[in-house]
Structure 1
Amino acid sequence: MTDPARLIADLRSDTVTTPTPAMREAMAQAPVGDDVYGEDPTVNELQAEVARLTGHEAGLFMPSGTMTNQVAIALHTRRGEEVICAEGSHIYEWELGMMATFSGVVPRFVPAPLGVPAPEDVRAAIRRSIHQSPSGLISLENTHNKAGGTVIPLDVLAGIRAVATEEGLPLHLDGARVVNAAVALNVPLRDVTGLFDTVSVCLSKGLGAPVGSVLVGSAAQMRQAHRYRKMMGGGMRQAGVLAAAALVALREGPTRLAEDHRRTRELAHALVNAGFDVNLNAVQTNIIYAAVPDAAAHAARWTEQGVLCNALGPDSVRFVLHHQVDDEALAGAIRVLTA
């Protein structure tokens, strides 16, 4: 870790942001109650607002996106079934085998160039044979983290929704950065989220809240989700102090995302001009994956020079932009990374 006094920009993730003064003030003033009993007014306000914005009936606040995703999988599946998901999906790559551990299900991957699975490939992945694990759920990720923060086009979403409906399968969205997707598409959030049975909306990534995600769906689903959340240890009692910050993030964060995306493109072009291999077609929101030989050594050197980033393999470094990287910090980061 670099000396804080020498820090130029923390580009490891958009989860590293600290609460803004407005968030801290809201946390200090938030009315609270016991959320396990459903009595925290600030949590209830947050849940209702996320549900409204996403076009769903109800929501449930949880500590993390991993929990909201895994609760959704538990809601939709039975043990021994498969979850159809795009290759590289977060629910498989970064959620520690929880779908198998908690729900007793396994993934069935479909090809996803630039993180976008084709409806016909999703249909082809559906299993009905008595000799195979049956399909229980289709899950998409938007934006797709491992593909580079890429966005699923609306016509593809509609096509996969049609497949799910025709085949009688539920459709879940891992929307860790779904607001980034809506901003990139220049459409209301509900246009991206309304086609799904359940959606996980993370508030602690691009939007900048310190903690939390909201799962949205029907009221009946959220009553069952409340039980699964409790089973996972996600009952946070007087969670209004966290929900208050999340409300500020939800209301103020989306207006900043276009600037994050602009800065991300600027950094990507600077890396390419410096000789690094970046697929610019994948730079659609706030994430960059650069091919960097001896990635760990480069990341360590850049960290010592005040630019934090993550080596995610022997020859891959990820950079993530967020609202606490302004133009001055971006310029400093480019100087270090391209020297």
Structure 2
Amino acid sequence: MDFRSDTVTKPSQAMRDAMINAAVGDDVYGDDPTVNELEQWAAERHGFEAALYTSSGTQANLLGLMAHCERGDEYLCGQQAHNYLYEAGGAAVLGSIQPQPIENNPDGSLDIAKLKAAVKPDDSHFARTKLLSLENTINGKVLPLEYLASARQFVDEYGLSMHLDGARVYNAAVALDIDVREIAKYFDSMTICLSKGLGAPIGSLLLGSKEYIAKARRLRKMVGGGMRQAGILAAAGKIALTENVEQLKVDHQNAKYLATELAKLPGFSVKAEYVHTNIVFAKLDESVDIKTITAKLADDGFTVTASNPLRLVTHRDVTKQHIELLIEKLNKYI
């Protein structure tokens, strides 16, 4: 019973069967029919001209930023953004692209006035501001469509492009009860992680214009991301997008239930209004010895990261019964 992340999901039997039977070829040559079909289908499904299958969300974001920006350029992002905090500084190290982080609001958004103030003037002293990168969901929180529209207006006003780190964009769409294209339409490029709540064992997609994806494909080869018979993996990715989206509703319901039950525990503080999707944060009092508690939970078959705030993530391999058992054990060990 692993609550660390939705990245720990196991592929379904349908995915395993599809992987075994996938038609394959050499994707670096463009010969893998399953990869080609996934890329074409994904582009059309999300309202873009083209798509690129990548090995990970980190790689997809790196290619996404590098395809928008040249050496010495800058992208605006949130201080909590995954492609700023948690991707080993790849854009700076490999792309020579400068991040300009802006403080995230409590709801995950970035203040438009602060973004405007951060855009650099056309002056040789400064990096060239080229891109705004948003994340949706961010720490499980959903950016409203009204905010996306205002961000689009901002980038258009300043001549910037806009990229979406959409690792959990389907969680956002499900939470808003809209088609994912209603989010995608505001962006020039977008990533989708297939291996989180959607359950594929590996892979992400980068979407954009034909010219943009052609550049990203060349960059993918440069950073060692060209794969050969990748259709074995892409077959699971297609199932993730066509068969596993409905599961996200259950994950969200379970997360809300988990948040409600955690809030009842002594020493646990949960802001339920920020539990939009499948990620729950609980702030712990000093009286809660989370390292000792997680060690005891491990003996009971639970995998939980010892942190404060405590981060728990629901997914297809975590049931309501698992949550009830976790709460029971937490009550025992607090």
Question: If the TM-score is normalised by the length of the shorter chain, which range does it land in?
Answer: over 0.9
CA contact (8 A) 2:27 2:227 kept: yes
- For residues 138-177 of structure 1, give each alpha carbon's deviation from its aligned partner in whole angstroms, at most 9, with x where no partner exists: 10000003xxx10000010010011111111110000000
For residue 326 of structure 1, report the CA deviation from its aligned partner. Answer: 1.8
What's the secondary structure of 1:254's corresponding residue? Answer: coil
CA contact (8 A) 1:271 1:338 kept: no
- In the alignment, is residue 244 of structure 1 matched against residue 248 of structure 2? no
* Residue aligning to 1:6: none
CA contact (8 A) 1:118 1:156 kept: no
* Residue aligning to 1:309: 304
CA contact (8 A) 2:79 2:85 kept: no
The letter of the residue matching 1:12 is: R
Q: Aligned match of 1:108 in 95, 100, 109?
A: 100
* Residue aligning to 1:4: none
* Residue aligning to 1:59: 51
Whole-Å Cα distance in 2 between the matches of residues 316 and 33 of structure 1? Answer: 46
Whole-Å Cα distance in 2 between the matches of residues 337 and 45 of structure 1? Answer: 46
For residue 335 of structure 1, report the CA deviation from its aligned partner. Answer: 1.6
- For residues 23-64 of structure 1, give each alpha carbon's deviation from its aligned partner in whole angstroms, at most 9, with x where no partner exists: 011011110111111111111111122212221111000000
CA contact (8 A) 2:84 2:101 kept: no
CA contact (8 A) 2:251 2:315 kept: yes
CA contact (8 A) 1:18 1:210 kept: yes
* Residue aligning to 1:138: 132
For residue 129 of structure 1, report the CA deviation from its aligned partner. Answer: 4.9
Aligned runs of 1:269-308 on 2, under 5 Å?
269-275=260-266, 276-292=268-284, 293=286, 294-308=289-303
RMSD: 1.3
- In the alignment, is residue 168 of structure 1 matched against residue 168 of structure 2? no
* Residue aligning to 1:10: 2
Whole-Å Cα distance in 2 between the matches of residues 18 and 96 of structure 1? Answer: 26
The letter of the residue matching 1:321 is: T
The letter of the residue matching 2:258 is: L
The letter of the residue matching 1:272 is: A
* Residue aligning to 1:32: 24
Gapped runs of 5+ residues in structure 1?
1-8
- In the alignment, is residue 94 of structure 1 matched against residue 89 of structure 2? no
What's the secondary structure of 1:244's corresponding residue? Answer: helix
The letter of the residue matching 1:120 is: A
* Residue aligning to 2:40: 48
What's the secondary structure of 1:139's corresponding residue? Answer: strand
For residue 86 of structure 1, report the CA deviation from its aligned partner. Answer: 1.3
* Residue aligning to 1:187: 178
TM-score by length of 2: 0.94
Whole-Å Cα distance in 2 between the matches of residues 68 and 300 of structure 1? Answer: 35
* Residue aligning to 2:322: 329
Whole-Å Cα distance in 1 between the matches of residues 326 and 229 of structure 2? Answer: 39
Check 1:129–1:299 CA distance in 2 against 1; reply closer, same or farther (3 A cut): farther
Whole-Å Cα distance in 1 between the matches of residues 330 and 274 of structure 2? Answer: 20
Whole-Å Cα distance in 2 between the matches of residues 257 and 337 of structure 1? Answer: 25
CA contact (8 A) 2:62 2:91 kept: yes
What's the secondary structure of 2:75's corresponding residue? Answer: strand
Moved more, 83-92 or 121-130: 121-130
Gapped runs of 5+ residues in structure 2?
none
Whole-Å Cα distance in 1 between the matches of residues 114 and 48 of structure 2? Answer: 27
The letter of the residue matching 1:323 is: R
CA contact (8 A) 1:78 1:136 kept: no
What's the secondary structure of 1:10's corresponding residue? Answer: coil
For residue 303 of structure 1, report the CA deviation from its aligned partner. Answer: 2.1
- For residues 173-218 of structure 1, give each alpha carbon's deviation from its aligned partner in whole angstroms, at most 9, with x where no partner exists: 0000000000001110010112111101000001000000000001
Check 1:270–1:63 CA distance in 2 against 1; reply closer, same or farther (3 A cut): same
* Residue aligning to 1:201: 192
Whole-Å Cα distance in 1 between the matches of residues 22 and 228 of structure 2? Answer: 14
For residue 90 of structure 1, report the CA deviation from its aligned partner. Answer: 0.2
For residue 249 of structure 1, report the CA deviation from its aligned partner. Answer: 1.0
Whole-Å Cα distance in 1 between the matches of residues 173 and 320 of structure 2? Answer: 23
Check 1:295–1:53 CA distance in 2 against 1; reply closer, same or farther (3 A cut): farther
* Residue aligning to 1:235: 226
The letter of the residue matching 2:91 is: M
Whole-Å Cα distance in 1 between the matches of residues 148 and 72 of structure 2? Answer: 27
The letter of the residue matching 2:68 is: H
What's the secondary structure of 1:210's corresponding residue? Answer: coil
What's the secondary structure of 1:298's corresponding residue? Answer: helix
What's the secondary structure of 2:94's corresponding residue? Answer: helix
